[in-house]
Amino acid sequence: MEFKNLKEIIVAIESKELSPREIVNYYLNRISEHNNKFNAFITVIEEEALKKAEKAEREILNGQYKGPLHGIPYAAKDIINTSGVQTTNGSKLYKDHIPKNDAFCIAKLNESGAILLGKTNTHQYAAASTTINVHYGTSKNPHNPLKIVGGSSGGSAAAVAGKLVPISLGTDTGGSIRTPSSLCGIVGLKPTHGAISLNGVFPNSPSIDHVGPMCESVYSTALTYYALECYDPNDVRSIKHNKIDLSQLEDSIKGFKIAICPDIYQNQELDREVEKSYETAIALLKDLGTTISSFKFEERDVDTIQDLFYGIAGPEFTKVHNKQYLNDPESFDPDVRKRMEWSVKVSIDDYLTALDNKIKMTRLLEGKLNNFDALITPAVPFTAPLINDLVAKINQKHFDYSANLHRQFFGPFNVTGLPAIVIPIGKDSSNMPISMQIVGKKWNESKILQIAHNIEANIMYNNNVSF
């Protein structure tokens, strides 16, 4: 039994052609057979998942179908609390941590009838972008296990790209959904800040943290986001808003106005293969009836918006971890310790200035987008580097991947809270995925999902992986 996509599975369950138990067994068998290659999962909860699948089967047979996610397996990044299930936060210090309650996002997916299969690997404390984890091992890219998955939601990306699960939850503070989704060739959505509750999610930088879905298609991303978005009165960051309109997902985008703005990433060179795929996607959007125009940033504004991540993320990360850092700095993985070292150097004055600039830059960017339906950018400016050297190759030049060369493309939309989705648009000469990013106005996830779906339907991207 093999499935082309999640839509096929949903139709089979709703029509009672296949049962949730058969679907869950299928994915559990795939995890058992292939997880050792990718190290996507830290914890698999087979027995509990099968019990829930049997319950879902009874409900559907009795006419209690809850909707398209009923009986659908999913995974969750291991910084998201799961009741009665180990939640490690990517650290041995939390190896015995068993939360009493589900995170809000887990509860919402469970309410929809989705079935949790396990917890996925992450960088320690979700603090960097490789998912090379001293405690739980390195997650590997299903397209080439010698290459990184990105991070920090790397296990979630590997699980979806390796077809171990069709849906996974990730978190994104400076690109942690979009980087691994891009490098692994899947769809990843960072929604509007405040759309999905952060209750029960281990904090990184709370004012710019996001939870979002990582999926095999735009269709499954839209369904999952619809189930997740909800006001949570117990989360001070949660904002009341109207749910997305799923009915327009497959509608034409003819007449849409799409913006480009190379100024945002003006200091970052693109690999020519990435640039070529991006240009092909732009040409496709024109063929689909959209108009493409550019807007500009003043150089000083670009510098300001790019510096915001460090000014905000530094002090907030310090607040979360400073006690542990002072008592036991060696408990941090080497690259996470480096993050602490620069985080503690950001002064309170710098932080307050950054918060003011965050408001200014959000207003500026929203003003620039006012006359457009979306902004498009490249995603990661190179394809996945090798695990053993972390050398990012751009036009035959070598760069240190850990220098966060992707952050210029992602960070501005964390600090401004605008929704952004990445989708695969091609592959390089070594068969590694290339992606692009679509950014929308706040609360306009419907439109960027619609644009993404139109691109996906026409780009003919092949995400097959070889085992």
Q: Would you name the residues annotated as active-site residues? A: 77, 152, 176
Asked if 139 and 39 count as a contact pair (C-beta separation under 8 A), the reply is: yes
Q: In whole angstroms, what is the distance from residue 49 CA to residue 24 CA?
A: 7
- CA-to-CA distance for 173 and 209, rounded, in angstroms? 5
DSSP class per residue in 314-382: HHHHHHHHHHHHHH-GGGS-HHHHHHHHHHTTS-HHHHHHHHHHHHHHHHHHHHHHTT-SEEEEESSSS
| CB within 8 Å of 218: residues ≥ 6 apart | 187, 249, 421, 423, 449, 452, 453, 456
DSSP string covering 124-147: GGG-SSS-EETTTEE-EETTEEEE
For residue 124 the two structure tokens come to 């320690």
Residue type at position 363: R
CA distances from 275 to 162, 282, 394 (A): 26, 10, 11
- Tokens, residue 249: 């997902």
3 state SS of 7: helix
